[in-house]
Amino acid sequence: MDKKRVIAVHDISCMGRCSLTVALPILSAAGVETSVIPTAVLSTHTGGFEGFTFRDLTDEIEPVFSHWKTLGVKADSIYTGYVGSHRQLEILSRLIDAFKEKDTFVLVDPVMGDAGRFYTSIDARFVEGMRSICASADMIVPNLTEACMLLDLPYVSCGYDESYIKDMLKKLCAMGPRYAVLSGVSFEKNTTGAAAYDSERNEYIYCPCRVVEGFYHGSGDVFASALLGAVMNGKEIAESLDIAVNFTLSCICRTHDLGCDTRYGLEFEKELGKYIDRLGI
Tens digit of each residue's pLDDT (9 = 90 or more) over 18-69: 999 999 999 999 999 999 999 999 999 988 899 999 999 999 999 999 999 9
Q: Quick check: helix, strand or coil at residue 224?
A: helix
pLDDT at 110 over 60: yes
pLDDT at 123 over 50: yes
Q: Quick check: helix, strand or coil at residue 67?
A: helix
141: which residues sit within 8 A by CB, 6+ positions away? 107, 108, 109, 110, 181, 183, 220, 223, 224, 227
Q: What is the DSSP string of 116-138?
A: TEEPTT--HHHHHHHHHHHHT-S
Q: What is the DSSP letter of 147?
A: H
Side-chain half-sphere CA neighbours of 53 within 13 A: 5
239: which residues sit within 8 A by CB, 6+ positions away? 230
pLDDT at 1 over 70: no
Instruction: Determine the CATH number of domain 4-279.
Output: 3.40.1190.20
Percent helix, strand, coil in the chain (nearest 5)?
A: 40, 20, 35
Tens digit of each residue's pLDDT (9 = 90 or more) over 86-109: 999 999 999 999 999 999 999 999
Across 140-149, average pLDDT: 96
Tens digit of each residue's pLDDT (9 = 90 or more) over 216-240: 999 999 999 999 999 999 999 999 9
Across 115-143, average pLDDT: 92
Side-chain half-sphere CA neighbours of 68 within 13 A: 17
Mean pLDDT of the chain: 96
Q: At what angle do helices 20-29 and 219-232 cross, to 10 degrees?
A: 30
Which of 181, 107, 116, 178 is CA-nearest to residue 146?
116
Domain boundaries, the chain: 4-279
